[in-house]
Structure 1
Amino acid sequence: ARLDHAADALGEVASTVAQVGEKLDKAQRQHQSSALQELRRTQTAQDRQRMVQQFTAVSTVMEEMAAEFELFERSDGTSANLVSDVLYEFALEPLDVSCRVDRFERMTVEILAMRGEGVKVNKAELTNEISKACGRTFSQPSISRTQTSWRLVFCEKPRFRAVMGSARHNCYNNLLCGDSTRCFEDGTGRYIAILSDGMGTGGRAAVDGVMVSDLLAQLIQAGVGFDSALQIVNNAMGVKSGDESTATVDIACIDLYTGITEFMKAGAAMSFVREDGKVHPVDAPGIPVGILEQASFHCTQEELGSDDLVVLVSDGALCEGTAWITALLEGASDSKTPQELAEAIVAGAVARRSDEHDDDVTAIVMKLHAYSQQAD
């Protein structure tokens, strides 16, 4: 309830800022006539609009967190106390520990802690001890770090795990690449792959691609929802430089408990799914970040099972069409690892290029494995 109230309050602040800005603009227009005054007025209005967007983004984040809390049916205070004891044994000072159980009786442990200077923590050992304390089996945590604290999230071991491989070709073998990737488990039973393609090639594109992928990963790992994270990044693209900065965003989010995979795209290239040996494309056209004031994903879902593949590529891989990628994936034996498949896609795209131009090419391949299976 407190988060809902705070979110509503921030939403009202954003609305108020917009209304005040409109009134100030009206008053200024009555008294300003010179070109310099008009330029200053325009800049002030732009700065005010960015402030409104940031307040709105924060409001949405808090609404998402409030909704997330509602998914959990109860808190386990006894387990939280036991987890705190374990943290002290690892020289971690707990600032806040919550053990939440959802409607499916799955527990999530969320920890905010301080780490002593020079202290090293073995994640496997910490996971084992917290599992013992709670009487459950957890996967290793997702960790988000700031200058003052660590946020660790443990979730119960899911049905699947994702094995990932990635490969990249830099345009004309440049040192810098406009494509940037981040892949990680978020600590709540989801495997997330992010591919961002900074528009163009070389240094400017590399800065945009890395900025987008890194910021998105940091926000998502900190618990911010996908839509809010995208809007925050979109706002950041607008203020980082006076020049236009744009980048595509391609996200695949795999629920490791169910196999349901959500594809979220903002101007990104087509993806591919191999399900029961058959390949089909996944496309969701949209607009890259950094162009419009409001950014949004175009989304679609697939339900996958063991041995199925998810493939993300940048647009440089599609210059000669998609039929050859479909044939490559359908013809690949089960013994082919995701890394081998990613390298084959990138090499194939480079070799097939027929227009005497080059481009950055990136491929991410993820394969689902049931935990009873031996992963590649």
Structure 2
Amino acid sequence: MANVERNLIEPLGEVNLEKPKLELSRGINKFHLLLETVFLKKGYLLLLLGFLLGRALILAQLTPFSLPFFAAVYFIRKEKAPIALIGLIAGAATISLTKAGSVFAIIFLFLFAFRIAKKWLKNEMKALPFFVFFTLLAGKIAEDVILTTKLSLYDGMMAGVEASLGFILTLIFVQSLPLLSNSKRRQPLKTEEIVCLIIMLASVMTGTIGWSLYDLSVEYIMSRYLVLLFAFVAGATMGSTVGVLTGLIFSLANVTSFYHMSLLAFAGLLGGLLKDGRKVGVAAGLLIATLLIGMYGEGNGTLSKTLLETAAAILLFILTPNALLTKLAKYIPGTAEHAAEQQQYMRKVRDVTAQRVAQFSTVFQALSKSFSSYDEPSEWEDDEDSRELDYFLSNVTEKTCQTCFKKDHCWARNFDTTYDYMKEIMNEMDYNQGELSTKLSREWEKHCTRAKKVTDTIQQELTYYHANQKLKKQVQESRRLVAEQLLGVSEVMGDFAKEIQRERENHHKQEELILEALQEFGIHIEQVEIYSLEQRNVDIDITIPYCNGHGECEKLIAPMLSDILGETIVVISEECSTYPNGFCHFTFRSSKAFTVESAVAHAAKDGGFLSGDSYSTMELGCGKYAIAISDGMGNGERAHVESKETLQLLHQILQSGIEEKVAIKSVNSVLSLRTTDEIFSTLDLAMIDLQNASAEFLKIGSTPSFIKRGNKVIKIQASNLPMGILQDFEVDVVSEQLKAGDLLIMMSDGIFEGPRHVENFDLWMKRKILELKTDDPQSIADLIMEEVIRSRAGSIEDDMTVIVANIKHNTPKWSSIPVQDLSKRLTS
């Protein structure tokens, strides 16, 4: 009994302990959401920043922060500009009402000038710092003239200094303000962005100069806290950088704080070096720096106060949640958290995509099994045959025995005998093509009074029976074809899912070498990702800063990669940023060894608008080039629709990655099942591999094709029935190795069989092709069509289509740019 009570009480205790934790976690999440809504979405963070920047001073008298901050907010988040303006004026009012009025007047002057000149500006981003510079310069000069009624050289110089600072601060704020938004940023922070953010935060902290808490300076506590954060997150380099920048801003704001820059820089360096000791190690670094710099900086009199300020900063740092530090580390490149975040995100996207594709593959496989299950032998096939026999005999008896006076005698008293006789008659007539043996005929006449009518009816029903059996067989064939097609789609999607799930090969060393080579050339590269360095299958993604559409990837990076990798590399895809601070992403891959230049000559019967011939030339994603001609039966609109739909179906199926034979069988099954009319289409398909120029010809009821190679003409021919006639047929494939300079000539029957008074069309066409004196595909196509029409005395008696393709070596648009030899180092 005690064990039972303990088993009941212990789970209850666990639930009671977990429930407060869940409620606390939900409360913290709600609090974070509330802070994000108030400060980020509603813009009250800009109000706070504006207040502190409005009262921030440089050299105890300059206020260069207000207008640059407002201009950046106005440019980036225009709808929040009024909130920032209120904060700036309120902050300036804490210094003096005159300063608040000056800030308002200068911002008003900026808006007035910027709005007037906006219609003539082509690039507002570049013009913004100059507007801030001239507005501050004019405003400060006007302020000095109004307040002092004279302008001294010193006042003019100070106005120029403040305007110059405003110019620089505008550039800094434009880069740093987007980092404080609630957008889901994926790109890591660049060093320049981190520097701009630190300068902005240090500038904001100067607004706290003069504030004290228990006789401790707030600005010193917050600056040391900031150094602790970045030293812990990003290490010694970033920690010392933050210390130098923050100390520099504070020393400009207050000359007596100059020693503080040394303290912060030293604390950032020591804290970063001791970051392996976690928070305690970083805090120890700040404490050691405070003791060393404090003793030499301002003597022992203020050392105790400096130590207390350091202790307050350390306390804030220790109380900072680790979740916040981890989140900050995810955006700083080089940290383990950032690398893990990027890898986790990419793996998640990859796994989700692969899972979805695999699910689709499973669905198609299940559909394929569902269709193919009808072809498998089943236990109820015998019952199905006997049921069909019963239906057959019931139809016969309905037309003969229902009105016979001996119905009861034959079917009520002698059911088995009558049934067996009729079954035997049906089988014998089916076997002997409607003839009955003399013996069976005599026995049946003795048994039945309407023997002749019954046998005639059985023969008539047999005709319907055979038609139904043929239709049933066609349906089974159709199901089998659909099952094969679905299985093919399932295999393609399954292979694609496996391809997605493959881990990207580790090419860190090669990425660093390529990055170093490109940067030494003077090109700024943000990121290099190598997916494959396999010969003829190179796949590299490169991210660069905003390129403004100058095409440096195509003109510089691709030629340099071509020299580095020893093969022609081209830009396959590009995604350019729409704003100046963004990134451009480019994909580089191996170019194809060959290109195909094609041309077409096309004419409808009697010069009409609609032709029964359709043609298509397409480059498939698998590195192949397809040329196809389809000739619908007859002429006019119906033939045009049939041939056009044939090519559309073929195009879509080939682009999905399905093999050519399966694609043609799929198109054939669709055409044969779609209509009962005898509408057929021919298909002439050539698949050219752009890497090695090998070609496969699939000719379905089409005319021969010809290859002109110098003074030699090669005929390509195959024997297959047109599409739509047979449900199942084998596709004969003719393979041929093409060479650079070859001319491939494909044509419909209107061209091949068009010449009048010609006995051997092959010899005539070969002779005309050999007589050609040009290699231009369009000229050749026009000349061949012109010869055929002239032989017909200018009449066009059938639809005519001829396609000429010229096989060439792929010559890159840009020559390779010599770079240091990295090929051996890349492959090692």
Q: CA separation in 2, counterparts of 1:71 and 1:105? A: 18
> Which amino acid counterpart does residue 59 of structure 1 have in structure 2?
L
SS in 1 for 2:631: strand
Which residue in 1 is equivalent to 2:786?
Answer: 347
More strand by share: 1
- Please state whether the residue corresponding to 1:172 is helix, strand or coil: helix
Cα shift readout 1:157-207 (whole Å, capped 9, x = no counterpart) = 111110000011111122211111110111222111011111221122111
Matched, 1:274 2:705: no
1:17 aligned to which of 370, 374, 385: 374
Q: Which residue of 1 aligns with 2:486?
A: 58
1:60-90 CA-partner distances (Å, limit 9, x unpaired): 3444666799999x763689xx9xxxxxxxx
CA gap 1:176/1:58 in 2 versus in 1, 3 angstroms: same
Inter-partner Cα distance in structure 1 for 2:669 and 2:533: 34
Q: Secondary structure at the match of 1:192?
A: strand
The equivalent position to 2:777 in structure 1, one of 338, 348, 359, is 338
**1:307 — aligned with what?**
741
| 8 Å contact kept, 1:76–1:100 | yes
Q: Which moved more, 1:164-173 or 1:345-354?
A: 345-354
Could you tell me which residue of structure 2 aligns to residue 95 of structure 1? none
Question: Is the 8 Å Cα contact of residues 186 and 192 (structure 1) preserved in structure 2?
Answer: yes
SS of the residue aligned with 2:376? helix
CA distance in 1, matches of 2:794, 2:722: 25
Deviates more, 1:39-48 or 1:221-230: 39-48
Q: Distance in 1 between matches of 2:589 and 2:646?
A: 27
* Alpha-carbon distance, 1:31 to partner: 3.2
Aligned-partner SS, 2:373:
helix
In structure 2, what is the equivalent of residue 88 of structure 1? none
2:723 to 278, 289, 294: 289
C-alpha distance in 2 between matches for 1:261 and 1:108: 25
**Using the alignment, how far apart are the partners of 1:140 and 1:332 within structure 2?**
36
1:242 aligns with 2:673: no
- Contact kept in structure 2, 1:163 and 1:367, CA below 8 Å: yes
8 Å Cα contact 2:701-2:719 kept in structure 1: yes
| Residue pairs, 1:186-201, within 5 angstroms | 186-201=620-635
Matches within 5 A, 1:34-53: 34=395, 46-53=474-481
**2:786 aligns to what SS in structure 1?**
helix
Could you state the TM-score of these two structures normalised by the residue count of structure 2?
0.35
Partners of 1:139 and 1:329 in 2: CA distance: 38
Letter of the 1:325 partner, please give it.
M
Does 1:366 find its partner at 2:805? yes
Q: Which has the higher helix share?
A: 2
1:13–1:168 Cα change, 3 Å: same
Following the alignment from structure 1 to structure 2, what is the Cα–Cα distance between the partners of residues 289 and 308?
29
CA contact (8 A) 2:536 2:591 kept: no
Task: Show the 5 A alignment for 1:88-107.
Answer: 104=535, 106-107=537-538
1:32 is paired with a residue whose SS is helix
Structure 2 CA distance, aligned partners of 1:154 and 1:364? Answer: 32
**Cα gap change, 1:9 to 1:154, in 2 (>3 Å):** farther
Q: Are 2:233 and 1:233 aligned?
A: no
Distance 1:101 1:10 in 2: 36
Q: C-alpha distance in 2, partners of 1:69/1:345?
A: 47
| Structure 1 pair 357–14 and aligned structure 2 pair: CA distance change class (3 A) | same
Q: Kindly state the Cα deviation for residue 16 of structure 1 after the two structures are TM-superposed.
A: 1.6
Partner-residue secondary structure (3-state), 1:343: helix
Structure 1 residue 214 corresponds to structure 2 residue 648: yes
Aligned CA distance change for structure 1 residues 339 and 105 (closer, same or farther; 3 Å): closer
Asked if the contact 2:592/2:623 (under 8 Å) is kept, the reply is yes
Q: 1:342 to 1:139 in 2, by over 3 A?
A: farther
Q: Give 1:72-111 correspondences, 5 Å limit.
A: 76=504, 104=535, 106-107=537-538
- CA drift of 1:304 comes to 1.7
Q: In structure 2, what residue type is equivalent to 1:301? A: S
| SS of structure 1 residue aligned to 2:811 | coil
Q: Is the 8 A contact 2:751 2:800 kept in 1?
A: yes
TM-score by length of 1: 0.72
CA contact (8 A) 1:308 1:368 kept: yes
The 3 A distance-change label for structure 1 pair 32 and 67 is same
Q: Is the 8 Å Cα contact of residues 230 and 296 (structure 1) preserved in structure 2?
A: no
Larger Rg: 2
Q: Write the distance in 1 (CA, Å) between the matches of 2:472 and 2:588.
A: 45
1:27 Cα offset (Å): 5.1
Letter in structure 2 aligned against 1:282: I
Equivalent in the alignment of 2:614: 180
Letter in 2 for 1:307: G
Cα distance, 1:325 vs structure 2: 2.9
Q: Are residues 19 and 242 of structure 1, via their aligned partners in 2, closer, same or farther at CA, if it must alter by over 3 Å?
A: same
After superposition, the Cα gap between the structure-2 partners of 1:106 and 1:348, relative to the gap in structure 1 and judged at 3 Å, is same
The alignment of Structure 1 onto Structure 2 pairs a total of residues equal to 322
8 A Cα contact 1:160 1:368, kept in partner: yes
Report deviation, 1:210: 0.5
Find the aligned partners of 2:793 and 2:684 in 1 and give their Cα distance.
26
SS at match of 2:724: coil
Structure 1 residue 328 and structure 2 residue 328: aligned? no
Distance 2:599 2:768 in 1: 16
Tell me the equivalent position of 1:26: 385
Distance 1:9 1:155, change over 3 A: farther
Match in the other structure for 1:145: none
Aligned-pair CA distance for 1:8:
7.5
Specify the SS of the correspondent of 2:606. Answer: helix
Amino acid of the residue matched to residue 723 of structure 2? V
Partner letter of residue 342 of structure 1?
A
- Which residue of structure 1 aligns with residue 66 of structure 2? none
Tell me if the contact between 2:683 and 2:702 (Cα under 8 Å) persists in the aligned partners: yes
Q: Distance in 2 between matches of 1:165 and 1:189?
A: 20
After superposition, what is the alpha-carbon deviation per residue over 1:76-114, rounded to whole angstroms, capped at 9, x for unaligned?
3689xx9xxxxxxxxxxxxxxxx97597551479xxxxx
Residues in 1 aligned to 2:533 and 2:391: alpha-carbon distance in whole angstroms: 59
Q: Does the 8 Å CA contact 1:154/1:187 hold for their aligned counterparts? A: no
Q: Secondary structure at the match of 1:210?
A: helix
**Residue deviations 1:203-238, cap 9 Å, x none?**
221111111111101111121211111111111112
Distance, in Å, in 1 between the alignment partners of 2:768 and 2:737 is 22
Name the % identity.
Answer: 23
Name stretches of at least 5 consecutive residues in structure 2 with no aligned partner. 1-357, 396-460, 512-529, 541-550, 563-568, 574-586, 756-760, 814-828
Contact 1:155 1:187 in 2 (8 A): no
Determine which structure has greater relative contact order: mean sequence separation of CA pairs < 8 Å that are 6+ residues apart, divided by chain length: 1
Residue type matched to 1:359 in 2? D
**1:299-355 alpha-carbon deviations (Å, 9 max, x no partner):** 112212211111110011122313343233323234x41111111112222222379
Which residue number in structure 2 is paired with residue 85 of structure 1?
none
Change (3 A) 1:31 1:184: same
Is the 2:607–2:796 Cα contact (8 Å) retained in structure 1?
no
Read off the aligned partner of 1:18 and give its amino acid letter: D
Corresponding residue number in structure 2 for 1:89: none
Q: For 2:793 and 2:664, locate their aligned partners in 1 and report how far apart those are by CA, in whole Å.
A: 35
